[in-house]
Amino acid sequence: MNALDRFREVNRAFPKTSQILEHKSQGKKVFGWLCTYVPEEIIHAAGALPIRIIGDSHEAELDEGNAYLYINNCSFSRSCLQMGLRGDYDYLDGVIAGSTCDGARRLFDLWGHYIKVPFHHILTVPRKYTERAQALYYEQFPQTVVTLFQSLFFTGTATGSPYTVPFFLDIRSDETYENGHLCGTLHVLLKDMFKSENLMKLPLDRQILVYSDTGHEGAAISTILNLLGYDAINLRWGITSWSLSLPGKDIAPERFNEDRDIMDYDFVTGFDPFVPQPDL
């Protein structure tokens, strides 16, 4: 078999090739990506298999795709949606897209609403070749990395959220943050939480997990965030319930139950290199 025949064989079976199905059978993750601006290297580094979501390799009826996307959208996006609705990509653990053309953006929205995958993330792609545009694109990568790794290694943390895990928000002091915090956390001091520049860093389309030292301040902040329109929850007992490596027995001796309240997850120390910290 020459090289071209190998490509033809894979193309005939795609998206359910033997290689992809074998990868899934081993319990590994497969992430679909839309748009060439999505960094496949990050998906690879996270231990998942990235595959590009494409349409049919031959002419096909696009009745379902046409029902959800305007006919003036390109046939590529309509064909991708048709295959997704048909179940051809039902093995995907997540979808990452770039906000490029209107067709790709609508395809991403419809995929998340009708097909539903555990992980759903989009990158804003700049329209201009300027330093400011490049900075906008570059600044998104740290949170994309954190969000992806959280999805792969902290599954099941959030309930009732469209995402597998919530967005972590630490409102403790610099000292306690450096002593130990959840991986991928955005750190904002309590006194600066409601400055506009810090509120703008919080997602409106994702659940936010707020945590403090013992849960008291976290409960207050999460309540106010909910009043402001965010979807926020508080980590019960704060960071003390996160790991056995942190003190917890003396926090609330009459109510705190180690067997019930401690989840014993890992935490990291120092400042998280993957998350941009606010200028305080």
Q: Is residue 17 part of a domain?
A: yes
The domain that holds 218 is classified in CATH as: 3.40.250.10
Q: Is residue 267 part of a domain?
A: no
CA–centroid distance for 168 within its chain: 12
Residue 71 and residue 176 in one domain: no
pTM over 0.85: no
Residue 176 and residue 212 in one domain: yes
Euclidean distance between CA atoms 149 and 143, whole angstroms: 10
Owning domain of residue 48 = 3-153
Residue 131 and residue 199 in one domain: no
Q: Is residue 272 part of a domain?
A: no
Residue 18 and residue 79 in one domain: yes
Confidence at residue 205, expressed as pLDDT on a 0 to 100 scale: 78
- Domain C-terminal end among 96, 128, 153: 153
The domain that holds 115 is classified in CATH as: 3.40.50.11890
Q: Is residue 278 part of a domain?
A: no
Q: Which stretches of the chain drop beneath a pLDDT of 50?
A: 155-164, 248-254, 273-280
Cα–Cα nearest to 83, from 105, 102, 101, 110: 110
Residue 196 and residue 139 in one domain: no
Confidence at residue 32, expressed as pLDDT on a 0 to 100 scale: 94
Confidence at residue 163, expressed as pLDDT on a 0 to 100 scale: 42
Residue 244 and residue 142 in one domain: no
Q: Is residue 275 part of a domain?
A: no
- Domain C-terminal end among 84, 119, 153: 153
DSSP designation for 240: G
Neighbour tally for 25: CB within 10 Å: 8
- Look-up of token digits 């909910």: 226
Residue 94 and residue 180 in one domain: no
Residue 107 and residue 171 in one domain: no
Q: What is the total residue count of the chain?
A: 280
Residue 53 and residue 98 in one domain: yes
Confidence at residue 8, expressed as pLDDT on a 0 to 100 scale: 80
Residue 54 and residue 112 in one domain: yes
Q: Is residue 80 part of a domain?
A: yes
Q: What are phi and psi of 129, to 5 degrees?
A: -100, 70
Residue 49 and residue 94 in one domain: yes
DSSP designation for 200: T
Residues 183/266, Cβ–Cβ less than 8 Å: yes
Q: Is residue 270 part of a domain?
A: no
| Residue type, position 256, single letter | F
Residues 6 or more apart whose CB falls under 8 angstroms from that of 45 comprise none
Q: Is residue 266 part of a domain?
A: no
Residue 120 and residue 24 in one domain: yes
Q: Which two tokens stand for residue 131?
A: 């330093």
Euclidean distance between CA atoms 212 and 190, whole angstroms: 9
Please tell me the total count of domains within the chain: 2
| Burial (CB count within 10 angstroms: exposed 0-12, middle 13-18, buried 19+), residue 29 | buried
